[in-house]
Amino acid sequence: MLINDKYKLGIGGYFMNQYTEEGMATTDLTRTATDQEIIHKQLFLGTIYYEPYLLRRNLWETSLVIETGYGRTVNTVTSKTGNAAADKQNTILIPAGIGLSVNIKPPAFFKIECFRWIGINLMTGYRAVLYQQDKRYQYNGAYWSISGAIFLDRVFDDFHVWKKQRDIARANKMIQLSY
């Protein structure tokens, strides 16, 4: 949601799906020091954000992203050899972050206005976990993102312009008919 052309408020979502292999560090008598484990980490995260603009130009804009959210981590650990039972944990995660966002906003190609409505978003920053139930894995760190973007402010601006043009054309037609 764009407010006063100065900042945005919004919601976002993130997903991570990562597999890693590590050596087991355990004193369990059923496992040996050479056992390997497969760790499947999944992160599901929803955020709300406040984003004041730093610079706005016709074809690009940059803003500061301040966000917090709520999410869940689902971590599954299994033995690579298959002798050990899977350990699965589904826990709460509350992160906060700060970053920098750059939107690339193309012009209307071939005089087709809808091309102005889509673009590319580049974002980078640092996210820290404020609260985490499962302390075994660390989710603090830098992040980056490249994604498509839809610029709803441009969509609404174009619809308002089209509506004004239509109303003016109707008014001119009514004036011509009255003569």
Residues 147-163: tens digit of each pLDDT: 999 888 888 888 998 89
Output the CATH code of domain 2-151.
2.40.160
Rounded Cα distance between 179 and 161, Å, is 28
- The residues spanned by each domain of the chain are 2-151
Q: Is the pTM of this model over 0.85?
A: no
Q: Are 62 and 102 in contact (CB under 8 A)?
A: yes
> Is the sign of the CA dihedral 89, 94, 96, 101 positive or negative?
positive
- Total number of residues shown for the chain: 179
DSSP state for residue 86 in the 8-state scheme: P
Residues 109-127: tens digit of each pLDDT: 887 878 889 999 999 999 9
